[in-house]
Chain A
Amino acid sequence: MDPSEVEFLAEKEMVTIVPNFSLDKIYLIGGDLGPFNPGLPVDVPVWLALNLKQRQKCRIVPPEWMDVEKLEEIRDKERKEETFAHIPSPYYMELTKLLLNHASDNIPKADEIRTLVKDIWDTRVAKLRLSADSFITLQEAHAKLDNLTLMEINTTRTFLLDSLNYMYKLRTNMQPRSDAKSQDY
């Protein structure tokens, strides 16, 4: 899967905005939005929030977890625990990137948040590499991956799954074959 497609999925998450225009309810296929009144916070999907922001029609309220203190807590917990810690948003990396790139003026301490999220990401991806390594060394047939986010899975998907497939093929070819089909060619 392309990372941009993961980002596409992340854009469906809801975020609060404060519009500076007024508009009736919008009846989208995916559900109703609004009504929009100047100064009154309203929830919209990220894709719409970013579009309105680019047209300078709203201010984005950062999600609750996008806060230096909370992220520090998460980072410390992530470093302490051996397994993947619970993360407040399944799209934390994508949302941080999208919101900081397009609306950094609405997010206090944007640079600190960027660094913290990067730290959390690095810690988690390091854990992921370690566990992928032991998964392969122990030749496991099943792994539980709670709390892992889609973007994290996606960074390792092609490499891990392809290697597992090749190793499986090599191994089954070494063992005496019970069925000789598709060997004719």
Chain B
Amino acid sequence: MSDAFSEASDLSADDSQDVMTPAELIAKLEEAWLNEKFSPELLESKSEIVECVMEQLTHMEENLQRVRKGDVKASVHRMEIDRIRFVLSSYLRSRLQKIEKFFPHVLEKEKSRAVGDPSFLSPQEFAFAKEYLANTETYLKAVALKHMPPNLQTVDMLKAVPEPCLDSFVFLRVKERQENILVEPEMDEQREYVIDLEEGSQHLIRYRAIAPLVASGAVQLI
């Protein structure tokens, strides 16, 4: 029986260029989960990680089907699956919440993305955002807009829905040392200054100042 389970550990993330162990894959998912939870804007979609994790889960569940009920090992595996599934759904859910909150801006960003750049949305999320936009527009029209004078019958969604506030503060932990991060002053009479982020240190700073570092994975939001 242990053979059936050990297969899962050999399965590497063959979709991505660099080979990852399943444990590293789960760690990556957890990083993405926390980053998505704490960043004010929608981050790049990690569909590759999501797919690999799904693959691992299905694989493990298939193996578990073959095991008789009441097996101690199987119950441990089920618990682990439940924990991973929780992280995965929480990650996807927090992305959907952001899409619902910022849908016109998310779609705008997707439209202006250069060909070849990685997409911010997974295909399913993109479909969801488009549908959400269409439904909102139909709803507004049916409820109020069609009763308005003709010159007031259009609504610019980009202006009607608030943009994500990139000036929010975030907590972060540094994974790779960074130098010369510019800290802009709160008031005009204060001077701007630069700081170095030492590996392992924790900071409270505006999201805008470190947004590229979150994307590159040099810092982890906490």
* Docked pose: A16 CA to B195 CA in angstroms: 40
In contact, B186 and A141 (Cβ under 8 angstroms): yes
Binds B, one of A64-72, A103-111, A115-123, A145-153: A145-153
Chain B positions within 8 Å of A144 at CB level: 201-204
Q: A142-B204, A146-B201 are in contact. Are A28 and B80 (CB under 8 A)?
A: yes
- Say if the beta carbon of A32 comes within 8 Å of chain B: yes
Interface size on A, residues (CB 8 A): 45
- Say if the beta carbon of A165 comes within 8 Å of chain B: yes
In contact, A185 and B160 (Cβ under 8 angstroms): yes
Q: Mark contacts of B149-167 with chain A using CB atoms, 8 A cut-off: 1 yes-contact digit, 0 otherwise.
A: 0000000000110110101
In contact, A145 and B159 (Cβ under 8 angstroms): no
Interface majority SS (helix, strand, loop, mixed), chain B: helix
Minimum CB–CB distance from A38 to chain B (whole Å) comes to 14
In contact, A145 and B203 (Cβ under 8 angstroms): yes
Chain A positions within 8 Å of B183 at CB level: 141-142
Chain A positions within 8 Å of B60 at CB level: 29
Binding site for B on A (CB under 8 A): 1, 5, 8-9, 11, 21, 23-33, 47-48, 51, 135, 139-148, 150, 153, 157, 160-161, 164-165, 168, 171, 175, 181-182, 184-185
Binding site for A on B (CB under 8 A): 2, 5-6, 8-9, 22-23, 26, 30, 37-38, 56-57, 60, 72-73, 76-77, 79-81, 83-84, 86, 90, 159-160, 162-163, 165, 167-171, 183-188, 190, 195, 201-206, 222
